[in-house]
Chains A and B, each alone.
Chain A
Amino acid sequence: MDATLPAVGEELLREIEKVFQETSRVPDDLLSALKFIFGASAVPALDLADHQSVTRIVSPSGRTVYQVLGSSGKLYTCYASCHFCSCPAFAFSVLRKGDSLLCKHLLAIYLSRALGTCHELTVSNKQLTRLLLMDESFSLS
């Protein structure tokens, strides 16, 4: 994810990555900071990252997109370079109400990269095009 987060969020994710590499856990103080900055999305996002629900998908062209398997079993698509997720919470809480910085799926992408739990998958260019269009009738499986 190459989008811009507030500096404090970037700093926190770097700290989580560093501590997790050393101890294989996220200590309570960093968890509290995560909740403080990202609100209600923090714990579910950490859960998604912990359950290896994030996949970074790349095609031969180099174009990249993320898919996150939500807690309900539904797959959500997130763009790689800016904050956009196909989930309803992003449409409502982030875009419409503006009371959240990220939905839990976007935050899960950041966390999965910090924790090293992000899957990698290569697909064809045409398959990646369909993912970018968030074609719900399209499945990689």
Chain B
Amino acid sequence: MAASAAPLLLLGPAASGRSALLFRAALAAASSSPDRVLFLAPRPFQRLPGGGEAGAAPGALQVRRGLSLRGCHLQRIQFLYPTSLQELLQLLASLHDILPSSPSLMVLDSLEEYLGSCPGPHVAAQLAALLLDTAHHFGQKRSLERAGCQLIVSMKFPGEAGDGAEQLSAIQRYFQAQCWLQLETQENRNSDGQGVAKLVRAHLSQPGTEDQEWMLIFEPREEMKISPVPCKSDSGTSSGSNKPPAAEVHHTLFWTSSGP
């Protein structure tokens, strides 16, 4: 099959920029390929994630900056809103029948909302497996042309115990690549002294590649910015010298205007 980035699980606490990253990845994929991007979420965004100006439903998004460019790319993003676990499973199982062409990227936001009604880890695993199987199916169809179908799923990091931990464990076994978001405790004043900027550290790990980190910067009334964090020395492990950086594998997620 065609080379395609490994399925990625994006984990982080509330308000850590998961939706903003997914939306950014969708825009990046839509801008780099004429093929559609599939964006699945429990409900429409109330405003643009990751900054910019508010709009209503994605079809009516209004942004001041880059309106024409984003609008063009947004048209390639197909938003679907399954409202329950059952609806999500049904949708994933029927996409092969109802989509006229294969997407280049499948994104699912807020997986935890679907798992709230999940009867146990077995069904959580089925959902993860069905997501992978669906992306794999589209990837195989696209491999005849040029590329695969990437899958990125975001999930709010659950509590430390109980069903949430079991469900997370069942899901993690299907995602080799995982990106953890961590809110930085320190908040900086904005340069003009108005408002505060939120900083989020993103740590991407995947077997066979070097771990990599980015800093996500959310400033008031500004779009999210991403800057790579210099690699730390590999203390404690001797691996890594011959591994490709994970950024090459998941450049879509951390695409920046100045390059990953």
Contact = CB atoms under 8 A, between A and B. Distances in A.
Interface residues of B, number: 25
Interface in B56-72: none
B170 A62 contact: no
Counting chain B CB atoms within 10 Å of each CB, which of A61, A63, A83, A133 scores highest?
Answer: A63
B125 A95 contact: yes
A74 interface: no
Contact of A84 (B120, B125, B137, B141): B125
B174 interface: yes
Given A79-B129, A84-B126, A95 B170 contact: yes
A133 B120 CA distance: 16
A132 B120 CA distance: 18
A64 B125 CA distance: 19
Interface string A18-42: 0000000000000000000000000
Contact of B97 (A64, A91, A129): A129
Interface in A74-114: 79-84, 86, 90-91, 95-96
Contacts of B166: 96
Interface in B206-254: none
B137 A62 contact: yes
Nearest to A90: B122
Contacts of B1: 2
A43 interface: no
Contacts of A84: 125-126, 129-130, 133
Contacts of B93: 129-130, 132-133
Interface in B76-91: 89-90
A95 B133 contact: no
Contacts of A128: 96-97
Contacts of B121: 91, 95-96
B132 interface: yes
A62 B90 contact: no
B136 A82 contact: yes
Contacts of B173: 95
23 contacts: A59-B96, A59-B97, A61-B97, A61-B137, A62-B141, A64-B137, A79-B132, A80-B133, A81-B132, A81-B133, A81-B137, A83-B129, A84-B129, A90-B122, A91-B120, A91-B121, A91-B122, A95-B121, A95-B122, A95-B170, A126-B94, A126-B97, A128-B96
A69 interface: no
Contacts of A91: 120-122, 125
Contacts of B141: 62
A80 B140 CA distance: 12
For A80, A126, A129, A134, the residue with the greatest tally of chain B CB atoms inside 10 Å of its CB is: A129
Contact of B174 (A62, A63, A80, A82): A82
Contacts of A61: 96-97, 137
Interface string A62-76: 111000000000000
Nearest to B137: A63
A82 B126 contact: no
Given A59-B97, A79-B132, A95-B125, 5 more contacts: A2-B1, A79-B130, A82-B136, A129-B93, A130-B93
